[in-house]
Amino acid sequence: GNSVTQMEGPVTLSEEAFLTINCTYTATGYPSLFWYVQYPGEGLQLLLKATKADDKGSNKGFEATYRKETTSFHLEKGSVQVSDSAVYFCALSLKTSYDKVIFGPGTSLSVIP
Amino acid sequence: ETGVTQTPRHLVMGMTNKKSLKCEQHLGHNAMYWYKQSAKKPLELMFVYNFKEQTENNSVPSRFSPECPNSSHLFLHLHTLQPEDSALYLCASSKRERGPTGELFFGEGSRLTVL
């Protein structure tokens, strides 16, 4: 079946630390890959995406590269801020007749000053 | 302001009550979704409406009844719920042009507590 696996949280980092959140996927065909973020008390919002192998998505200092050979889409940021504290969801989208998006379980990130 | 508005933000109901959740999108999208977010579980896709037609019912119990009167509005009617139905219910929308993009726009959610 189609699924997304993320590293277990919660993750706690000091401000300006380097962030990596691992994500791997299982899918039939060639999905698009996404990272969504959910800030406290809010809904999810798209952070970045990649639609084919070797594409790199980036936004707000976050990056992730679509690795087909390792079926991975790890999220990285060089220097996190307190405002990055949120839950991060890796997701894939299948090319069906509608936007069928399958989410991972989410990784909670807390950044402390 | 995300362009997707959900009401109410918080709802407490007994197991015998009937209530509804409402979602409205102002983005000109043509697909709308209900997701359930429970603690320590992945987001669960419940229903999908594509151009007002229901295209997926993800084995959701009949005590949840969706309604999509037009492409801008989506409702989730609730009746005889169970305590395990307590969760955050998220509405989302997307726009299909030449095909699905996977880009969903979410509302802030309706936090439901069933006593």
pLDDT tens per residue, range A89-100: 999 987 765 567
Q: Which residues contact A71 (CB under 8 A, 6 or more apart)?
A: A24, A25, A26, A27
The mean of the pLDDT values for chain B is: 89
- Which amino acid, A85? S
Q: Name the phi and psi angles at A59, rounded to 5.
A: -175, 135
- CA A9 to chain centroid, in Å, comes to 13
- pLDDT band for position B98 (50/70/90)? low
Would you give the DSSP letter of residue A39? -
Residues A22-79 have pLDDT tens digits of: 999 998 888 899 999 999 988 999 999 998 899 999 999 999 999 999 999 999 999 9
Query: Which residues of B fall within a CB distance of 8 Å from A49?
Result: 102-103
- pLDDT band for position B97 (50/70/90)? low
Query: Which residues of B fall within a CB distance of 8 Å from A100?
Result: 45, 48, 56, 100
